[in-house]
Structure 1
């Protein structure tokens, strides 16, 4: 029987039992005559606090709170919030990185610390794997938008409330030390954190300082087969251009350090200063072998895309004679840094409450590549392999290598070759890159609120303003050296005799490259002037964004609940700057020019929320919201690539307008007595001016030169085009068996069982405009899965906490591809639209409280060893499959 079916059935049965318990308990009044604390229940403590915050909120929110000693159970923020209802995660090499809220694209989710929105190093796509959970005391996922939130908050905002000294009384020291193993490759995993907080000056001054370090050594199993080339001979047959193996060795590490100081002048006035610093490093060694099938022929020497070749081979199994080997060495040392520094205050002034913030945030999204080297087979087919490709199993695409003999028009397959270095593929070039994207942002923000009356009803009035000035720029330097046949070095020059660390059946052996020796070789080429500096001005760009915002909102309270209503106004100014390479025209020589652009827009975001207390335990929430997601910074850059021969231009689009959304949420929440929670809701978003890939007339004279008008060239870029919608259903239940066990007089140890179940079902549609003769077509919103399930089976009793957590999501779109019309039929030009296949992960967390100060724990991650699989256009065209192995960490948490 399918493992997933068994697990979902078992956890669902637990949920039904827990719900039956909650339904019985909800009709009774609990009476407490004596409270005896025998052991902590971390998950129950966390949920109880979270539900208090959630219930008191005036808009739709899901909350994750630290337990009584300030711990969150997961290593990073992405993993942590991935347990909440309506949240799906996207992983990178097995590590949760981005979040999709209720099926929406990742760029529809914003990030904030203590209520202040900050930029992510990558831009609109907020990353969460670089934020350790150790810095947080509480995380609120705000799904319904109110006027006090930024207008580009579409799916929701993830607000991280950082630790504060006043969260505890007096001095507190807590932390953890964990050490583990990565099953694939046998690497070591290390997870540590330390938090110190204390209160001084008779309770007026609070100080909290936190530091954490996480590191993981790993390898991956990886193959890629793409792109799939369409052809005019038989469009139903799409042959893969190449197959490749990427042999990764890498270390991923996170460091965080934060400090917050609060000073209370009196009960009405508090000021604070905080700094939050996170550093993520991906030190990646990648040895890459690419088998260019399209550079070979059939036995008769017919080209790869000819009718004879296509008739002689199947797209999934066949033989290519004289295919080319391309080798690559890429050492990537990606460093991503973020520092966000805030001063602020809270003041009560004559019936008004004032909150203010001043912030500076700096991020560096690095892309350093100390070495990038390329290798290539000689031109003679006799020195190249004959490749037998087998793509019939979409999870295990493989190739076999053979020697090649015969003549040009009568090629033969010789003996199998199992050592790839038996073939020649000398180096053609080597180089390095240093640089990345830097973002700096200055933000000032204030909020005022006042309790008054409106039409005789108690009403809280809120006003505020914000100004932020963000600038993101891309810069890099690069050196390179090309080889000739006379001085080219072979793969063996860089190789080291380390055993293969993966588990794939490659059908060939290879040697990893020596990272230290290869890097030293490249550094010496630069130092001695053999490697020359490249002209990288074409990769430079800078985009600035200034936002001036103001809002007004009110919360009017009735006997049955309240209404929250208001509007936000934002004026957005964008400027762009980039170098553009202008081709030579007649007597006008080629040159590189700096191009400047600007645009502006004012948007208004009204919203209305109803919160109805149907009973003491049941709330109905209805929200009507508006929002707009802006194009990412790199999509706004004026980097243009000019092709005079084709009369075409491609690049960023400084005039791209925000895509706009109108949302409706209707949710019912049941806060069960004495413990338990159930919610169900419907959500809908109407989307207009969707940002899509378009091609139309350039329409500007920015790129004209004397004697040549480029304003009528075809311009391919991201622009506003399609309309669509996103709608869905979300259901969540959390409960324990405690009351049910008591009512049925079952053994006491059974009281510890509990469960948390959530499901989100989404459908969406976007109409893409006509492009290049391809008629308009409909796709799902990128990033949306039809279904996302989060299931947790829990046991908490006698100081023991066990959580088995499972997430499953159906396939989702990653990117929109190109299509063409052949014989009246629309077919992909290469891969077409690219999708991630269904994803699942099973994690186990076991904790045992030794005493009030120490707890031991064991975590197991990715226990089913699920891989990541992508495909192009249809599932029968897999383009990548990668596995990462299981991971185990054991350690101790301490609290004093």
Structure 2
């Protein structure tokens, strides 16, 4: 944009001189005196990021979506999950309002893999990768590879999220960037802190580059949550009714922290040979204290005449949505969770060129992860068996966002019960101590990987062709160790009130009672005292170790034509799994079980990239892939409960879930941040992995006095075939060209929009019924309204997705109708998040920012089988943060 001296000075004063300082204006007096104009420019971070991303995307030989850092190396969000949620075809599964898992094009989350700088790494959770523990500060670019090529691992099904880390040679000399932000969490009146620092420099006459990064994020918050879960199986007298077994309020107070650090060295021996060493560390910590109040409706509750709540007569006469139960058992539960999700990945590698035709790269990697799920304390209180000591409860589940219950005294006789006076304070009911326990669990994964890749430029079939080939060997071992202490403490005089502290309610939802939050120090002291007095007994359970060795080789070629190119080839993977685990019956160890399996899989693929014009590109792909059962699903151990007649465990014989995919996309690359794409995709799926319950059917676990052949067995099996198909649309444009061509006011050129929509349909045939795949929403929409001009960047972003399946439930036949056996299939309800990000560039070195998250204060809801039976609703409030970014 061009301005006179007077106009430039006025603009500089108004806008903080982000593009040209006041001193710079006066320094150009000689230029202005001759009638020349001063060029005033401001950074446009979103436009810079989009421009860089489009260059990579257009030149890619397969279907990718790219998120690139802006000119100073910033991505726009705190973690990678939030950052990629703005991209087309991406759906996010959140936890406590924070993006965690990625669903690509509506596919299950375990179909998405993670890599750093092109090398796949394991996640602390296993096959399903968490992205909330990866801060965006470590990344210069994120590439989502949606169409699989032979150089990628075969278990990449929906796609791979590749994080290109920062490297010193991305910049010219020394560079220091970072940010510091301080914010407020509305629900719970907590504090949010976000800080990062990156240092990069080049030494030894341009041969050695070093970049170091560190970041820290924390958030204090409260969460309000109700759950009406589970529902009882409908009865033959009226299969249209589903009555709740329990209803509860969970009152959370928590602090979440993300800490990361990375260090990378790059050394250039010469223009043909470079080596590097990198280490990346990330730690996610969830410190959470829950206070729960649970009404057991299906226990000894009755109607006024003493008829049982769960009887046929009551099913006929009562309303499952609103009513009164008499003498319901009341429970209080204090749970302290202290969970860590830690990853350290270390890589040594090199890039080499031999002449003009042959290139080679190699990688050696060691990755260590730990997923800790500790419960340092759980204390349970439960009302007695005498109906007069338990409350009469009014329940109201008609408002699916505000299920609640009210408490009253219970008087009268066993067969003529009376609702007495209203009780507001839940602590007024006697709830003796029922159980006390603590639990420690750690899953540790160790993985070694060696990888080598070559590409050779040659002529094949008379056409220029790049031939790529290479191999990989990786060995992974995941070990799980659980142990804890528990005990029933009958006769104890401990009450909930002794562990409570004064203070107001931190939530906003309507409660039919008052309560006090527990005191963490008092809770932990109770656990320590109980362990010291041997009131608790040690429980060892669920030890298992699963190893996986993969040997892979691939060959692929890219043949060039006047109109584009064809990429074709195949990958071969030999997979060997071993497992060992102890089988426990209660606390009795029945010995070590071992398992072995091996399989060789071949993954062919072909892609066609057709340049219809300089701006218009068509892409077609045929791919194959297979997702393997998670490590814990392959464990060979069993947990046996002779009281409940049940067995649960892994399935070492589970086969990979195989997919064949088709893609057809059209892309238009315009000017001035203009891009359009449309595509269709289809995947045929066989041997789908399912969590299921069935009859065990074998006698190898029988012992004297216990015939376990007919026990209920919960495990993972291959069951059913299916498909997923969909349409993906994306558009990005700004008003700049329109403003310039029509000579409109220049400030209007800052407006822009980015919008995407993904429409997905999936089907999984289970024989008796047909369902959708987990993680599949019918529709996912992303819209960003942008204004970027004069150093000011404003982005209003919204993501909306329709309901999606979380877990497959069980069904049974009652009175000739197929009905949910309990909750049935569990779904997440529709989800909306609206965020606002504002940046203002003060000068070349400083930028201020302010962000608002979940501005519409939407919550997260789940339901069982249909949305008429909600099982959970959770709210976490709005968040606001402001701060400064710096760049030197």
TM-score range, shorter chain: over 0.9
Superposition map of 1:424-503 within 5 A: 424-484=430-490, 486-503=491-508
**2:764 alignment partner in structure 1:** 766
1:661 paired to 2:659 = yes
Superposition map of 1:106-145 within 5 A: 106-145=109-148
Q: Provide Cα deviations, 1:153-194, integer angstroms capped at 9, x if missing partner.
A: 000000000000000010000000000100111100000000
1:521 Cα deviation from its structure 2 partner: 2.4
- Tell me, in whole angstroms, the C-alpha distance in 1 between the residues paired with 2:412 and 2:707: 54
- Tell me, in whole angstroms, the C-alpha distance in 2 between the residues paired with 1:747 and 1:393: 50
Cα 1:650/1:432, change in 2 over 3 Å: closer
Superposition map of 1:630-709 within 5 A: 630-642=628-640, 649-694=647-692, 703=701
**1:304 alignment partner in structure 2:** 309
**1:258 alignment partner in structure 2:** 262
Cα 1:631/1:142, change in 2 over 3 Å: same
Cα 1:93/1:645, change in 2 over 3 Å: closer
**1:238 alignment partner in structure 2:** 242
- Tell me, in whole angstroms, the C-alpha distance in 2 between the residues paired with 1:381 and 1:246: 25
1:158 paired to 2:150 = no
Secondary structure of the equivalent of 2:298?
helix
- Tell me, in whole angstroms, the C-alpha distance in 2 between the residues paired with 1:836 and 1:106: 14
2:739 is matched with which residue: 730, 738, 741?
Answer: 741
2:338 is matched with which residue: 333, 338, 356?
Answer: 333
Cα 1:199/1:482, change in 2 over 3 Å: same
Cα 1:71/1:481, change in 2 over 3 Å: same
The ranges of structure 1 where at least 4 consecutive aligned residues each deviate by more than 6 angstroms after the TM superposition are 643-648, 704-714
- Tell me, in whole angstroms, the C-alpha distance in 1 between the residues paired with 2:502 and 2:832: 36
2:516 is matched with which residue: 511, 520, 523?
Answer: 511
**1:628 alignment partner in structure 2:** 626
1:617 paired to 2:606 = no
CA contact (8 A) 1:694 1:721 kept: no
**1:380 alignment partner in structure 2:** 386
Secondary structure of the equivalent of 2:153?
coil
2:214 is matched with which residue: 211, 214, 217?
Answer: 211
2:203 is matched with which residue: 166, 176, 200?
Answer: 200
1:562 paired to 2:565 = yes
1:233 Cα deviation from its structure 2 partner: 2.8
- Tell me, in whole angstroms, the C-alpha distance in 1 between the residues paired with 2:340 and 2:108: 25
Superposition map of 1:774-789 within 5 A: 776-789=768-781
CA contact (8 A) 1:175 1:193 kept: yes
Cα 1:218/1:645, change in 2 over 3 Å: closer
- Tell me, in whole angstroms, the C-alpha distance in 1 between the residues paired with 2:409 and 2:707: 54
1:252 Cα deviation from its structure 2 partner: 0.5
Cα 1:430/1:144, change in 2 over 3 Å: same
Cα 1:370/1:704, change in 2 over 3 Å: closer
CA contact (8 A) 1:479 1:531 kept: no
**Uncovered stretches (5+) of structure 1, i.e. residues with no partner:** 1-32, 585-589, 770-775
**2:884 alignment partner in structure 1:** 892
- Tell me, in whole angstroms, the C-alpha distance in 1 between the residues paired with 2:697 and 2:333: 41
- Tell me, in whole angstroms, the C-alpha distance in 1 between the residues paired with 2:702 and 2:732: 63
**1:10 alignment partner in structure 2:** none
**1:24 alignment partner in structure 2:** none
1:421 is matched with which residue: 421, 424, 427?
Answer: 427
- Tell me, in whole angstroms, the C-alpha distance in 1 between the residues paired with 2:488 and 2:865: 37
- Tell me, in whole angstroms, the C-alpha distance in 2 between the residues paired with 1:751 and 1:379: 72
**2:601 alignment partner in structure 1:** 603
Cα 1:696/1:379, change in 2 over 3 Å: closer
Secondary structure of the equivalent of 1:536?
strand
Secondary structure of the equivalent of 2:147?
coil
Cα 1:330/1:583, change in 2 over 3 Å: closer
Q: Provide Cα deviations, 1:10-59, integer angstroms capped at 9, x if missing partner.
A: xxxxxxxxxxxxxxxxxxxxxxx999451100000000000000011000
**1:271 alignment partner in structure 2:** 275
1:601 Cα deviation from its structure 2 partner: 0.8
CA contact (8 A) 2:618 2:664 kept: yes
Cα 1:884/1:563, change in 2 over 3 Å: same
2:849 is matched with which residue: 836, 847, 857?
Answer: 857
Superposition map of 1:798-809 within 5 A: 798-809=790-801
CA contact (8 A) 2:619 2:665 kept: yes
1:650 Cα deviation from its structure 2 partner: 3.6
How many positions carry a matched residue from both structures?
A: 850
1:878 paired to 2:870 = yes
- Tell me, in whole angstroms, the C-alpha distance in 1 between the residues paired with 2:339 and 2:699: 38
1:705 Cα deviation from its structure 2 partner: 6.5
- Tell me, in whole angstroms, the C-alpha distance in 2 between the residues paired with 1:222 and 1:413: 27
Q: Provide Cα deviations, 1:336-376, integer angstroms capped at 9, x if missing partner.
A: 11000000000112432111001010111111111111110
Secondary structure of the equivalent of 1:599?
strand
Cα 1:214/1:647, change in 2 over 3 Å: closer
1:649 Cα deviation from its structure 2 partner: 4.5
- Tell me, in whole angstroms, the C-alpha distance in 2 between the residues paired with 1:477 and 1:495: 28
CA contact (8 A) 1:582 1:593 kept: no
Secondary structure of the equivalent of 2:574?
strand
Deviates more, 1:831-840 or 1:225-234: 225-234
1:700 Cα deviation from its structure 2 partner: 7.1
- Tell me, in whole angstroms, the C-alpha distance in 2 between the residues paired with 1:752 and 1:695: 57
1:534 Cα deviation from its structure 2 partner: 2.1
CA contact (8 A) 2:436 2:488 kept: yes
CA contact (8 A) 2:489 2:535 kept: no
1:535 Cα deviation from its structure 2 partner: 2.3
- Tell me, in whole angstroms, the C-alpha distance in 2 between the residues paired with 1:639 and 1:392: 43
**1:74 alignment partner in structure 2:** 77
CA contact (8 A) 1:233 1:306 kept: no
**Uncovered stretches (5+) of structure 2, i.e. residues with no partner:** 1-35
1:573 paired to 2:573 = no
Cα 1:583/1:751, change in 2 over 3 Å: closer
TM-score by length of 1: 0.93
- Tell me, in whole angstroms, the C-alpha distance in 1 between the residues paired with 2:887 and 2:639: 58
- Tell me, in whole angstroms, the C-alpha distance in 2 between the residues paired with 1:891 and 1:160: 26
Deviates more, 1:758-767 or 1:650-659: 650-659
CA contact (8 A) 1:481 1:530 kept: no
- Tell me, in whole angstroms, the C-alpha distance in 1 between the residues paired with 2:302 and 2:194: 52
CA contact (8 A) 1:431 1:531 kept: no
- Tell me, in whole angstroms, the C-alpha distance in 1 between the residues paired with 2:703 and 2:421: 60
Cα 1:184/1:591, change in 2 over 3 Å: closer
2:836 is matched with which residue: 844, 847, 858?
Answer: 844
Superposition map of 1:336-351 within 5 A: 336-350=341-355, 351=357
- Tell me, in whole angstroms, the C-alpha distance in 1 between the residues paired with 2:713 and 2:302: 36
CA contact (8 A) 1:841 1:862 kept: yes
Secondary structure of the equivalent of 2:838?
strand
**2:33 alignment partner in structure 1:** none
- Tell me, in whole angstroms, the C-alpha distance in 2 between the residues paired with 1:697 and 1:847: 59
CA contact (8 A) 2:793 2:839 kept: yes
